[in-house]
Chain A
Amino acid sequence: DQQVKQNSPSLSVQEGRISILNCDYTNSMFDYFLWYKKYPAEGPTFLISISSIKDKNEDGRFTVFLNKSAKHLSLHIVPSQPGDSAVYFCAASAYNNNDMRFGAGTRLTVKP
């Protein structure tokens, strides 16, 4: 069952513009959300997270927004850089649950 969904398999943006990656979830018990970034031939690496008590978390060029009522989160990258080109995975977990569910990933390409 796909409890975490990333409906856009790919996204292409121009360098300097904003990249917006979206993620939807179905399990209302999820209360912690993370974004991971994956380069080819490497494992995913943690990028940014947000707790359900917040609706926004910012770290440099990366901002994650959470809309609990819509069960939707998004990752904004501003400005986008060619080095941001990677696959981005959305993940979610629930307090006192011990697994983390991932979406299918979105491949971001930032063109110079």
Chain B
Amino acid sequence: DAGITQSPRYKITETGRQVTLMCHQTWSHSYMFWYRQDLGHGLRLIYYSAAADITDKGEVPDGYVVSRSKTENFPLTLESATRSQTSVYFCASSQVAGVRTGELFFGEGSRLTVL
């Protein structure tokens, strides 16, 4: 039971480069989320998706792009990475009922460093 997996776990890139973080879940959860976690800010929502082909912005979407062509995958792309996007990124998934109760299942995180 793989659950929810993120790749890569660690990534170092340079300013201006495109980076894609992958997220895959095996539970067939309807909802998927991308958060970033920074010291002093806690977890902040970047984008979320209620189903395949349905995505919406969260609290801090600028500089990020998402897609969801399949229920199980929710990649996050930084089209032109900036140093301020250095962070730990968490993907999460949830059933419809879980969204109302805040029951999210998180991946292990992807630590991104932008030089």
Q: Do A and B come from one complex?
A: no
Residues in chain B within 8 A of chain A (CB atoms): none
**Interfacial residues, chain A to chain B (CB-CB below 8 A):** none
